[in-house]
Amino acid sequence: MRVRTIRSSLIWAFSLVISVGILVLGAFSLILFQQALIDQTQKSNTQLVSQLNRILDGYIGYMQDLALVVWNNPDVDAYVSGPASGDPGRKTQVLKFLEGIPQIRPDIDSLVLTRPGGETLTSDPARRLNPWLEPHAVPWFLADNPAPSGAIVSAARVENLYDDRYQWVISLVLGQPRSRPGAWLQVDLNYAVIDDLCRKIQLGRSGYVFIINSGGELVYHPRQQLVYSGLKSERIEEILKVGQGQLEARVGDRDLVYTVATSSRTGWTVVAVSYLDELLASARNLGAVVLLVGLGCLLITTFLAWRVSLRISRPIVALRRSMKAVETGNFDVVIDVEADNEVGELARDCDIAIGKVRDLMHQSLVDQETKRRQDLLMLQSQINPHFLYNTLDSIIWMVELGRGPDAIRMTSTLAQFFRLGITRGSHEISLGHELEHVVSYLSIQKMRYSTLDYWIDVAEEVLDTPVLKLLLQPLVENALYHGIKEREGPGTITVRGRRFGDRVEVTVSDDGVGITAEKLATLLVDPEGQVRDHIGLGNVHERIRLHFGPAYGLSLESSPGRGTTVTVTLPPGRPI
């Protein structure tokens, strides 16, 4: 498995969290924004088309009112209904009336009044009629419906009534009521009015407005020519079917929304076209902004994660490097980690632990040294020359007195004593053997000091307990020299051995002078303070503790004048 550093884990985790957050947030805001945008566009487009319809209704309504005024004018009525030859005065009257109207309303291009039989009067006498117009041709508004009633409104058309003049107009025709067959009045509205009105409307970047009449013909379209030449198409039939409301469609390669409103007055359908991709373009802009902000956050997060992980991992790396050194055995490293967090504390703890280990190792070295030195001391004490000289003096003295058997006994005991002490090189011997050694010593001393008496009272079960060589002999020696010899009269040394649960206690008691409490307190404490060639209680105590552990060792009990008891506590151990 690949090792993942804390740093990369942290950076990945942070980046993942922030990326997911930004993505989810971005997606939601985008969807909501798009929806809001589309709703808003549809709302405003709906307002726009109904507004436009009202304006157009106004224009057409005005044309219709105007047409009705003209149509119902008594002179016009009389002219249209009158005989074919007519009254020239009335004709002039009518012409004057017609001429006045476009001067008041410049958006009215012309009025054309035709009476049965084809005589035509126009509002502009300066214009000649188109000579090529066939007199009996069916006028445009009769082409589809030969018997219309009421007002007819054209789509955008070119007025070809005049010679040398082709004007784009919207025409409204009143005509052919039953009373006046063949008579009609046409009002031409300058198409520029509608064109100007619609051309100004821009929906989004390339959205637009177009108008169709109830027959599906284009009244206005900004790309009329493209529509006619088939380069552009609109869903005219569907729009007419909808009449009012929204229609989403795909035209060409673009999705768009038609907002449709039909005027009942003109029969025209105003259509606003908004391209979805343009609407969504601003949403895409938002998306880009969200993405940018997200990336910014991601960069910052990554940077922070990098910094934080560095703060965490740098001390860990330093710690690890130090521990590597420790692994190779160098306990003198100083873990120099500067971090005021948990890792810093850990590093300090490690530092302390390493220090402890270092101290322990040092201690263990010192202990080994001490052990060796004490063993040496023990051996030195074994061949304590005073003891040997004294014993040899005693033997000489016995021989001189002629006490041969006593001298022999003493000499053989001395030999046994030394054999026990010097041989058996191992440190640990059984309590039984150590007792033999003690007994040898005591019996030699008893021969020298007749006042001495001793008792050995050791339970059979503890004879196998492992003890350190020459452990008891110094205690007995102490009891003899510092307890009994300091006192007048006879003395007794008692050695007892018993087992108490998981320990073995061996006591060496004397009924000598005893020790004062003050002195007692100092005896076990400072082995270094002892005289070099003398085995102190402290030395013994330390030997036991070093060998068997701190739970074991010596304890002293004494009262002045009544004697001293030294208790050796040992582990039961396995028998030697």
Partner 1 sequence: MKLLPTLVGLALVALACAPARDSRPRIVYIPKMVAPNSFWATVKEGALSAAEDQDVEVVVRGTLEETQVDGQIRLVEEAVQERPSAIVLAASDFLRLVPVVQKARAAGIPVVTVDSSIATDDALARIGTDNRQLGRTAGAALLRQIHPGARVGILSYIRASSTARDREGGLIEALGGSVALLKTLYSGSDQETAYRLTRELLREQPDLGGLVALNEPSTLGACRALAESGRQGSVALVGVDASFEVIKGVESGVLRSVLVQQPFNMGYLSVQAAAQLVRGRSWPKNLDTGAIEITKQTLFLPQNEKLLFPVTVLNSPHSVLKR
- For the chain, the C-alpha Rg in angstroms (whole number) is 66
Smallest gap from residue 206 Cβ to partner 1 (A): 5
β-bridge partners, 390? none
- Contact between 217 and partner 1 (CB under 8 A)? yes
Smallest gap from residue 124 Cβ to partner 1 (A): 11
CB neighbours of 10 closer than 8 A, spacing ≥ 6?
305, 308, 309, 312
Nearer to partner 1, 219 or 261 (CB): 219
At residue 154, the 3 state secondary structure works out as strand
Smallest gap from residue 158 Cβ to partner 1 (A): 5
CB neighbours of 513 closer than 8 A, spacing ≥ 6?
482, 483, 486, 487, 560, 561, 563
The DSSP letter of residue 137 is: P
- Contact between 164 and partner 1 (CB under 8 A)? yes
- Using CB under 8 A, which of 42, 167, 443, 530 touches partner 1? 167
Give the separation between CA 412 and CA 470, rounded to whole angstroms. 19
Binding to partner 1 (CB under 8 A): which residues in 180-209?
A: 190-192, 195, 205-206
- Contact between 157 and partner 1 (CB under 8 A)? yes
Smallest gap from residue 136 Cβ to partner 1 (A): 15
Nearer to partner 1, 27 or 299 (CB): 299
Using CB under 8 A as the binding criterion, the count of chain residues that bind partner 1 stands at 46
- Contact between 289 and partner 1 (CB under 8 A)? yes
Stretch that binds partner 1, among 144-152, 156-164, 428-436, 446-454 (CB under 8 A): 156-164
Nearer to partner 1, 140 or 552 (CB): 140
Nearer to partner 1, 116 or 287 (CB): 287
**8 Å CB contact between 353 and 331:** no
The Cβ-side half-sphere exposure at 443, using a 13 Å CA radius, reads 18
Q: What are phi and psi for residue 440, nearest 5 degrees?
A: -55, -45
- Contact between 223 and partner 1 (CB under 8 A)? yes
Give the separation between CA 46 and CA 34, rounded to whole angstroms. 18
The helix (run of H) or strand (run of E) holding residue 408 is: helix 404-422
Q: What are phi and psi for residue 408, nearest 5 degrees?
A: -60, -45
- Contact between 33 and partner 1 (CB under 8 A)? no
- Using CB under 8 A, which of 224, 370, 494, 567 touches partner 1? 224
Nearer to partner 1, 61 or 287 (CB): 287
Give the separation between CA 441 and CA 436, rounded to whole angstroms. 9
DSSP assignment of 434-483: HHHHHHHHHHHHHHH-TTEEEEEEE-GGGTT-EEETTSHHHHHHHIIIII
- Contact between 569 and partner 1 (CB under 8 A)? no
- Contact between 226 and partner 1 (CB under 8 A)? yes
Stretch that binds partner 1, among 48-56, 296-304, 314-322, 374-382 (CB under 8 A): 296-304
Binding to partner 1 (CB under 8 A): which residues in 78-137?
A: 130-132
Would you state the structure tokens that stand for residue 184, as one six-digit string? 């009609």
Strands 491-500 and 503-510: antiparallel
- Contact between 327 and partner 1 (CB under 8 A)? no
Give the separation between CA 262 and CA 241, rounded to whole angstroms. 11
DSSP assignment of 216-265: S-EEE-TTHHHHHTTSS---HHHHHHH-SEEEEEEETTEEEEEEEEE-TT
- Contact between 291 and partner 1 (CB under 8 A)? yes
Smallest gap from residue 191 Cβ to partner 1 (A): 7
Nearest residue to 240 (alpha-carbon basis) of 211, 273, 201, 274: 211
- Using CB under 8 A, which of 6, 8, 392, 572 touches partner 1? 8
Stretch that binds partner 1, among 33-41, 294-302, 432-440, 546-554 (CB under 8 A): 294-302
Nearer to partner 1, 161 or 484 (CB): 161
Stretch that binds partner 1, among 287-295, 323-331, 396-404, 428-436 (CB under 8 A): 287-295
Per the listing, tokens 């304006």 go with 55
By CB under 8 A, name the binding residues for partner 1: 8, 11-12, 15, 130-132, 140, 155-158, 160, 164-168, 190-192, 195, 205-206, 217-218, 222-226, 228-229, 231, 281, 284-285, 287-289, 291-292, 295, 298-299, 302
